Structure 1
Amino acid sequence: MTLADARAVAPSLRTAPADPAADAEALAVLARWAGRYSPWTALDGSDGLILESTGCDHLFGGETAMLDDMAKRFGGAGITVRLALADTPGAAWALARFGDRPADGGAGIIAPPGGTMVRLAALPVAALRLDAETVEGLRRLGLHRIGELYRLPRESLGRRFGTEVMRRLDRALGRAGEPISPLLPSPEFRVRADFGEPIGAAGDIARTAGRLIARMAEWLAKERRGARRLDLAAYLAGGGVSVLTVGCARAMRDAGHWERLFAEKLAELDPGFGIDAMILAAPRTEPLAAAEPRLDRRAAPVDGLGRLADRLANRLGAGSVAMLRPGDSHLPERAERRVAPGVRIRAEGWPRTPPRPARLLTEPEPVEAVAGLPDLPPRRFRWRRVTHRVVAAEGPERIAPEWWRDMRSPGREPAATRDYYRVDCADGRRFWLYREGLYDAPVARPPRWFLHGLF
Structure 2
Amino acid sequence: MTHRRILSLWFPRMGAERLLRQARMAEDLPFAVLRDSGQMKVISSLSITAESQGLSCGQSLRDAMAICPSLITKLQNPQLEAKFLTSLCRWANKFSPWVAEEVSNALVIDLTGCAHLFGGEEGVVQQVELDCIDLGLSVHIGIADTKGAAWALARYVGQPLSLNRTGDAIDQEAHATRSRAIKRRNWEQGGQAPCLKSSKSISCRIAAPGFTRQALLPLPVAALRLEGHVIRSLNRLGLCRVEDLLNQPRAAIARRFGKGTVYRMDQALGVAPEPINPSKQTLHFACRLTLPEPIGFMEDMLAALDKLLPRLSKGLESKGRGARRLRLEVYRTDQTMQWVDVGLTRPSFECARMRPLLEMKLAEIEVRFGIDILRIVATQTELIYAQQHKGRIDLGAEMSEGLSSNTDLDDLIGKLGARIGLETITRLHPGNSHIPEKAAQTIAAAWSSPEMNWPNSGLSRPLIYFQPERVIALEVPKVPLQFKWRGQVHESASAYGPERIAPEWWLAERAWHTGTRDYWKIVTKTGDRLWLYFAHGGLLSGGWFCHGRFA
The amino acid across from 1:305 in the alignment is L
Q: 1:275 aligns to what?
A: 373
1:84 matched to 2:190? The reply is no
Q: 1:332 aligns to what?
A: 436
- d(CA) in 2 for partners of 1:33, 1:235: 20
Aligned partners of 2:141 and 2:205 also within 8 Å: yes
- d(CA) in 1 for partners of 2:420, 2:396: 31
Q: Deviations over 1:250-287 (max 9, x none)?
A: 45443422334444466667898743976768754242
The amino acid across from 1:336 in the alignment is A
Q: 2:472 aligns to what?
A: 369
Q: How far off its partner does 1:30 sit?
A: 3.4
- d(CA) in 2 for partners of 1:29, 1:250: 29
1:435 matched to 2:497? The reply is no
The amino acid across from 2:132 in the alignment is M
Structure 1 segment 193-204 matched on structure 2, within 5 A: 202-203=301-302
Q: How far off its partner does 1:243 sit?
A: 8.1
Q: How far off its partner does 1:206 sit?
A: 0.7
Q: Deviations over 1:398-423 (max 9, x none)?
A: 553346x33788xx968311426588
Q: 2:85 aligns to what?
A: 31
Aligned partners of 1:406 and 1:413 also within 8 Å: no
- d(CA) in 2 for partners of 1:243, 1:195: 16
Q: 1:68 aligns to what?
A: 130
Structure 1 segment 150-299 matched on structure 2, within 5 A: 157-162=253-258, 164-165=260-261, 168=264, 175-179=273-277, 181=279, 185-187=281-283, 190=285, 202-203=301-302, 205-216=304-315, 218-220=317-319, 225-227=320-322, 229=324, 248-264=344-360, 274-275=372-373, 284-285=382-383, 286-287=385-386, 289-291=395-397
Q: How far off its partner does 1:27 sit?
A: 1.7
List gaps (5 residues or longer) in structure 1.
Answer: 76-80, 102-108
Distance 1:193 1:413, change over 3 A: closer
- d(CA) in 2 for partners of 1:25, 1:195: 27
Q: Percent of pairs identical after alignment?
A: 19
Normalised to the residue count of structure 1, the TM-score between the two structures is: 0.64
Distance 1:444 1:284, change over 3 A: closer
Higher Rg of the two aligned structures: 2
- d(CA) in 1 for partners of 2:326, 2:108: 20
Aligned partners of 2:427 and 2:443 also within 8 Å: yes
Distance 1:129 1:122, change over 3 A: same
Q: 2:5 aligns to what?
A: none
Distance 1:260 1:137, change over 3 A: farther
Aligned partners of 2:221 and 2:242 also within 8 Å: yes
Q: 1:347 aligns to what?
A: 452
1:126 matched to 2:126? The reply is no
Secondary structure, in 3 states, of the residue corresponding to 2:453? helix
The equivalent position to 1:139 in structure 2, one of 216, 227, 235, is 235
Aligned partners of 1:85 and 1:92 also within 8 Å: yes
Aligned length: 413
Secondary structure, in 3 states, of the residue corresponding to 2:470? strand
Distance 1:95 1:390, change over 3 A: farther
Secondary structure, in 3 states, of the residue corresponding to 1:400? strand
The amino acid across from 2:91 in the alignment is Y
Distance 1:14 1:451, change over 3 A: farther
Q: 1:417 aligns to what?
A: 517
Aligned partners of 2:462 and 2:531 also within 8 Å: no
Q: Deviations over 1:312-370 (max 9, x none)?
A: 55665565444432122221232123446454454233335535345x55xx3543534
Q: Deviations over 1:131-154 (max 9, x none)?
A: 312322333454433455566676
- d(CA) in 1 for partners of 2:482, 2:89: 67
Distance 1:38 1:407, change over 3 A: closer
The equivalent position to 2:501 in structure 1, one of 394, 401, 409, is 401
User: What is the RMSD of the two structures over their aligned residues, measured on CA atoms?
Assistant: 5.5
- d(CA) in 2 for partners of 1:279, 1:23: 23
Distance 1:196 1:320, change over 3 A: closer
Question: Which 10-residue stretch deviates more, 253-262 or 266-275?
Answer: 266-275
Distance 1:161 1:316, change over 3 A: farther
- d(CA) in 1 for partners of 2:89, 2:129: 14
Q: 1:106 aligns to what?
A: none
The amino acid across from 1:74 in the alignment is G
1:447 matched to 2:543? The reply is yes
Distance 1:414 1:203, change over 3 A: closer
Secondary structure, in 3 states, of the residue corresponding to 1:415? coil
Aligned partners of 1:36 and 1:235 also within 8 Å: no
Distance 1:94 1:259, change over 3 A: farther
Structure 1 segment 10-29 matched on structure 2, within 5 A: 10=66, 13=69, 19=75, 22-28=76-82
- d(CA) in 1 for partners of 2:82, 2:488: 60
- d(CA) in 1 for partners of 2:135, 2:422: 35
The amino acid across from 1:416 in the alignment is T
Aligned partners of 2:156 and 2:219 also within 8 Å: yes
Normalised to the residue count of structure 2, the TM-score between the two structures is: 0.55
Secondary structure, in 3 states, of the residue corresponding to 1:419? strand
Distance 1:211 1:436, change over 3 A: same
Q: How far off its partner does 1:49 sit?
A: 4.9
The amino acid across from 2:407 in the alignment is D
List gaps (5 residues or longer) in structure 2.
Answer: 1-58, 160-203, 388-394
Distance 1:346 1:74, change over 3 A: same
Q: Deviations over 1:46-86 (max 9, x none)?
A: x625376977997xx964244334234336xxxxx444364
Aligned partners of 2:129 and 2:139 also within 8 Å: no
Q: 1:104 aligns to what?
A: none
